[in-house]
A = this chain, B = another copy of it.
Amino acid sequence: MKDSTPSILNELIDSLKCLPGVGPKSAQRMAYHLLQRDQKGARRLAFSLNMALDGLKQCKRCNNYSDTEVCELCLDADRDATKLCVVEMPADLNRMEQAKCHSGLYYVLQGKISPLDGIGPDDIQIDRLLTRAKDGIVEEVILATNYTAEGEATAYYISEMLKRSSILVTRISRGMPVGGELEYVDTGTLAQSVYERKTL
Contacts and interface: CB of A to CB of B under 8 A. Distances in A.
Interface stretch (A27-35, A126-134, A157-165, A169-177): A27-35
Contacts of A90: 32, 35-36
A-side interface size class: 35 or more
**Oligomeric state, in number of copies?**
2
Contacts of A20: 26, 29-30, 33
A72 interface: yes
B41 A4 contact: no
Contacts of A43: 49-50, 53
Interface stretch (A6-14, A142-150, A191-199): A6-14
A91 B38 CA distance: 14
Question: Chain A: interface secondary structure?
Answer: helix
A49 B42 contact: yes
B34 A19 contact: yes
Contacts of A46: 45-47, 49-50, 53
A161 to B, nearest CB: 25
A191 to B, nearest CB: 12
Given A29-B20, A65-B35, A97 B9 contact: no
Interface of A: 1-2, 4-9, 11-12, 14-16, 18-21, 26, 28-36, 38-39, 41-53, 55-56, 64-68, 71-73, 76, 89-91, 94, 97, 100, 183
